[in-house]
Structures are given as structure tokens and as C-alpha cells.
Structure 1
């Protein structure tokens, strides 16, 4: 039976996701010193994706998780599985050139295909639903969607369906939006079910996962050591997949990402007919504002509504009421419905919103900077790292070529500077 939202499984934070699954099996913390071929920090989508790929190639893998499997953004996110990255393709073109940006985009397509393949291969019941749309609020945004559709078809061989207002409203019953860009290849899923399914697959392949085993120190050398408070793992290779929750392990990584809070709420069950009256084709939807709203239906006919990013490391004041108002602005027909619960967590963003993958040393790999676009990209990143460890590094090297600058201001000022910058973008959204 599902557990109560007020009483989530031990070690997890309350969310509709945790309330909608049976309690996950607990995995023992690390005790003592052990050897492995590869040791991974983080049992989220990146770390487990790498673990599965490595184990499929016959390597002995240990994963160390500070909390529970999928405790962070991997198990709490909005569930939209998309191609591309947190930045537009034109940003990547400016960073790497158009030809290289095409290579990176094609890897993102492989990442979405890999996610679907693993759902089928490991029979993960994560409530996958196909289809996602970006939607425009203003004429300027609608023109931008049209240009995006033309560019993606011409330069990236990736056709998208451009919907006018009538076509869009036949699928998404909101007066707020005037155009849409539909991707039939994308989709949405229950993220906690997916990450737990990936963990089960990894364990079936022989991967050892230790929960409640926070890494306290990374020791470089020909043999890498990851230390916890009760033991250490020694291995020829290590993977750092802590993302927004990486603290105290490597300053060079930490200063190139900023943890940002983002939030999701769930209505009570609406019933099948009323839910379908909101989103007829059960797709995932996101607007194209800088401070965006995104939403989809759950398998039990709730509306899951996300947004309200916080750049200050604190939840916005009056969060649940503010998110409810935003939901009512999108769907006025839900004026009698509130958000039953709201939850959130930290995602990791880079200055340029491009992904940050590479090496800390010849035998220490990392992936971070998914910028809220990681449901599919994390698995791709883990797989590219696994390929690099086994001697096929061209994919990882393609991403390592992206230059990333640290956030300005150092530890004390970098967050206030980001808050000021984001205030301008939010004002631009309001001005249309």
C-alpha cells in the first residue's frame, strides 16, 4: 500500500512521489575498507547510469550514497524527459561551433533513447508517457518557437510540430498560451520509480550500493580512495556524481555550479475525465519564460505543477499559495482546487547553462551542471563516463571541450550576485 505523504519512507523527504510507492528496500552503509574496479559518489541518475553501464561491461562497481537512493533531484524532479540541455542549441553553437553543437545534440538524443531502452530492458514501471510541448505566452515567444522549429529541422535533423493557438488549446485547455512546439520523442515519467528501478537493475548486475555513506574525502593517486566516516573504497577509477549536493569534495567543481531550489506541487486526484479536460493527450508541458512553469498529469489523475525557482537557497515566502496562484493562472477552471502538497530540492546550474562533464584527474571522472534538464541527460552522461573508463573517450571529450567559468564573487558573494541577475530575467518575463 502507498505510504502517507506525511510519513514518507525512512530517510526520504515528503513528496507525492514518495507517497505513491511502497517503501524502498534499505541498503547497508559502508563498513570497513574494500576494493573495486570503479567507485562512484552518488546514487542518483548519473551515478546509477554509470554503474549499470560499467557493470554490463563486467567491472566491479561500488556506489556510495550520502542519503537514500534517489534522495536528491533524481527522485524529486518534474519528471520531464527531453532532448537537448539547459541552454539553447544556439548557446552551444556560440561556445563550440555549430558542427560541434550538432554532435552534442545527437548525444542528447542517444540519452533519451537509452532511457527508453532501460525502461524496457529492466522492466521499470515508471509510468512513462510520450510527448512534451514548449508553449508560448507572448507573440515574441511564439515567433521564437517558430524559428526554433525551423532551425532544429534544418541544422539538427530533428523535426518538431509547431501548433497554433487552436491546435494547442485542443490539447492543453489553458487560455494563457498562444502557440506550442511539440516533441513526440520526449515524454514524462515518475522519477523516483525510475531511479529505484535503475538501482534494482544495478544490483542485479552485481553493483554494491551503500546508503547513508557520505563521502568525506577524495584521495587522488594511481589508486583512488573515497573515504566515509566508517570505511573507504579503493579503486583504479572514481566517478563524482554528487551534482548540486556535492560539498567539500573538490572546490574546482563546486565553484562552477550553483545549487538552485525548484519546486513541484500536486493537486488532489481530479478524476480521469477532469484531468483529461486539462491535458487531453497526457503530455508534459512547459512555458518558455526564464522563470518557467511546467506541468503534467500523474497516473492517478492529479495535476503536477512545478516552478518557483529560488536562487537564494531558501524557499520563496508563501510558496504553496504562490504556486497555487500560478496554477490558477494557467488553468482558471481549477479555481476550486488547491495544491495538496508541495516539495522541492536543489538542482545544479552552470553559468552558461551548458552541461559540465569531464575529468578531475586521469582516473577521476565527473558530470554535473544539468540545469534542470537531467532526466535523460544524466543517463547519457553516466554512459559516456563508463565508455571513457573502458577506453572509448570521444563522447566524454566532446563535452569536456565546453569551457566553464566559475561563478563570480567567491563563496560569500556569488549567490547574491546571481539573485540580482535572476531578478532582471524575471522582470523581463513579466514585461513580455
Structure 2
């Protein structure tokens, strides 16, 4: 079986983000220009692909990673940098859909993504501005009750880092009077995501792994002996891992048709006076609010405010990221209403209909993982590790994920975006009405 996708790299580079401007490693890896072999070929040098590649390299496999543009070009190098535990759907929802055994199994893995990140930062000495602590901010009493419910659901699964915060204690976390309270996750945190993925790439290369950038895969053969072809070379392998997520394009429609690209926008302000940064976010936690269409923000290591939100279904960039986000920033921090924005960018993440990651095997020799649905920083690390385990013959945890049913979006490629946007409008209206 073969699938084709046109090359779209055209020597693109990273989005004009704060992360790209402050990347520790600006090395450009070579393109693939030969026909080579490896035990495993990975498509995509983001968190999923490199998490799997690093797991396999640590186990002694020869691994080649093919990246269409540059390491971390997609969501892995553009996201808000927030370490958020769990999944985009709570475990009680997962239990109602898939049964108690699935909820128990996923609950047992729910903190592992963050643990993998921290252990790799320590093991490989990755400088990526790790800060512990996250805060979920509630606008209404209804949202507070939702957080209390989440806390009750997650604690039996070993999540002992959750703490409710009432209105009087919010100023110790964030100087915003819009919130009635919230919940702290002491196992959450924030990082410079591009420096994290670049550090993981360097760790992988230190173990003999090979990464080729500007090497978009144009043809995939998914039979007993997989083959990934680029415009100028190929990788023959025993196992192929497809980890392109929202940037997979049309390469493998049987995978890609079960997810939708969704863009999120982020700005980074000019560096603030350190005293002002301390006043705005005194605990230095990352923050996300509890609205269905949520905003999220944090401090950077050089005292900027990095603020994100404004999703667009279908992956289109808005006409102006600044116009989309400045009103939201001003509502949250009125003192920053006229602050200069030094960086503004968009990036896509992959959304599934179920809002649960889609993981499994396309054939006995082709594995895939995508659709982290907004919780990608942690789940990509977990699922990449699980892909590596499965290739090494330990498929029990992969089997849990692959047993979950997945469906294409209703309406197909023509109507999936407007139907999803209509649903988001309805939930957004409920947030505004407080019901």
C-alpha cells in the first residue's frame, strides 16, 4: 500500500515566535539525500516523534527521524509551554464512554507525561526554563464546582498535587480580579517548549540517532518492509512511526481524516520590569482559565507575559494575532493594555472528535499517535514513550489506547469546521451566561 503527499517544506523555517528567537540550538540539520536503512523510521521531529525516538535509542535501536521543516516546527515548538496533567476529557467522562478498566488504565498514566519531561530534563541537562506549578482559574461559581469535581475524580488515581483556592487567595497567584477562585496543580508547570524539544533531539543524537530536517515524506509504503521516501532519498525500516499530528497533511488520509487542525494564537510582550512581573504573577505559575474557549498565560524567564488563546477551527491563521489577543490580555491585566508586543504567532494542534488521543497501528509495521487535543505537552511525551515500548515488544499500554473507538468528524472535510465551530459557540455562550 502506498500514499502520496506533495512536499510542502520549501525551505520554511520556524514561526516568528519568542521561542525561535531564544532557541538554545540554532543548528540546521542536513536534509536526507541518500537511500538509508534503520530499525525504525519516525516521521515528525516534534514531542511525540522525539519522545518515541529517544525511548528507542535508549533501548539500543537504530532510529532515523524525518522532519519536513525543522525540529519543533509544529505545535511542539509553538505552544504555550504549559505542563498540564491529564487529558482533554476527565476520567469520569472516559469511564462513562469506555468503561472502568480503560479509565483506571489511563488514570494510572495521567501524571507520567510530566514525569517523563522532568526526568529527561534532569538526565540530559536540558536548559528549558522549567518552573513548577499551574493554576486553573474560575470565572464563576459553576466553574469552581467543576474544579472541585475534577479534584474528586483525579485524586483516587494518585493525583495528590491539587489544591482549591478561594477568591481571597487568588492575588497570591495572579493579580486579576476576574476570578472567583481556582485550583492549583503542584505537579503542573511551564517550560520553553522549543528548547525542550531541541534538548531531546540533542539527547537522541548523542545516542547515535539521526535527524534529517527539510525532508518532507512524499511517499509511504506501509507493508511488511516499510519505506519512507522524500524528494531526494528514502529510509527503509522494520517499523515506521507516524507522528506528524496537525502537520501530517494528506500523507496518510486513513489517519489524518480522524483529526482536525485547530490554530491557537500566542503573543509575547516586551520584557517587563521584574517588580511588575512579580506583581502580576507572584507565584510564577502558568495559568489557564476554565472557559470552553480558554485563554492561557505565564511569565517567561526574561519577565515577558506570554499570552495565548483565540482558537480557529480548521487551522487558519487569523488576520491579526495581536487584534485577536490584545483585548483578552487587557481584560486580564489592565495595566498591560498598551504594552508592546515583541512577538505574535499562530500554530496548529490536532483535535479528535472524542478529544482523546488517537493511537494505534495502521498495519503490523506502522504505528501512529496524534490528536492530543490541546493537552499535547504531556501526552505526547507519554504516548511517544508508549510507542517505543510497543516497538520493543511491550505493547500492553499501547493496546489500551488502540482499543478506544475513534471516529471521523461529522460532515467530512466540508462541514466539520462549521459544525465544530457551532458547538464551540454554544459552549462559549453558556460560559458567558454562567450556566
TM-score (norm 2): 0.94
Moved more, 99-108 or 339-348: 99-108
Kindly indicate whether the alpha-carbon contact (under 8 Å) linking 2:128 and 2:191 is maintained by their aligned counterparts in 1. Answer: yes
Does the 8 Å CA contact 1:149/1:159 hold for their aligned counterparts?
no
Q: Contact conserved, 1:95 with 1:402, CA < 8 A, in 2?
A: no
Q: Hey, what's the Cα distance between the residues in 1 that align with 2:309 and 2:365?
A: 38
Counterpart position of 1:404 = 406
> What's the offset of the Cα at 1:318?
4.1
How far apart, CA to CA, are the structure 2 residues paired with 1:236 and 1:267? 47
* Cα displacement string for residues 324-353 of structure 1 (whole angstroms, at most 9, x for unaligned residues): 110111112323424332111110000111
Aligned to 2:44: 42
State the distance in 2 between where 1:123 and 1:323 align. Answer: 34
Deviates more, 1:245-254 or 1:33-42: 245-254
Equivalent position to 1:324, from 305, 323, 326: 326
| Matched length | 424
Q: Is 1:280 the equivalent of 2:262? A: no
Q: What secondary structure does 1:253 align onto?
A: helix
Partner of 1:261: 263
Counterpart of 1:233? 235
Q: Following superposition, which runs of at least 4 residues in structure 1 exceed 6 angstroms of deviation?
A: none
Q: Which residue of 1 aligns with 2:206?
A: 204
Matched, 1:419 2:421: yes
Task: Return 420-429 or 343-352, whichever deviates more.
Answer: 420-429
- Secondary structure of the equivalent of 1:417? helix
Q: Identify which of 187, 190, 201 aligns with 2:189.
A: 187
Distance 1:155 1:61, change over 3 A: closer
Alignment of 1:268-347 (within 5 A): 268-347=270-349
1:324–1:339 Cα contact (<8 Å) kept? no
Tell me the CA shift for residue 317 of structure 1.
4.3
Report the equivalent of 1:370. 372
- The aligned runs of 1:94-173 (5 Å cut-off) are 94-154=96-156, 156-173=158-175
* 1:61 is the counterpart of 2:63: yes
Please point out which of 243, 247, 250 is paired with 2:249: 247
Tell me, what secondary structure is at the counterpart of 1:216?
A: strand
The Cα RMSD (Å) is 1.5
Distance 2:386 2:154 in 1: 24
> Match of 1:340, SS?
strand
TM normalised by structure 1 equals 0.95
Q: Deviations over 1:41-67 (max 9, x none)?
A: 000011111111101111100000000
Q: Give the distance between the partners of 1:96 and 1:327, measured in 2 at CA.
A: 39
Unaligned runs of 5+ in 2: 1-10
The equivalent of 2:16 in structure 1 is 14
Question: How far 1:220 moved relative to its partner?
Answer: 1.7
For residue 95 of structure 2, the aligned residue among 82, 93, 101 is 93
Provide the rounded CA distance (Å) in 1 between the counterparts of 2:378 and 2:25.
25
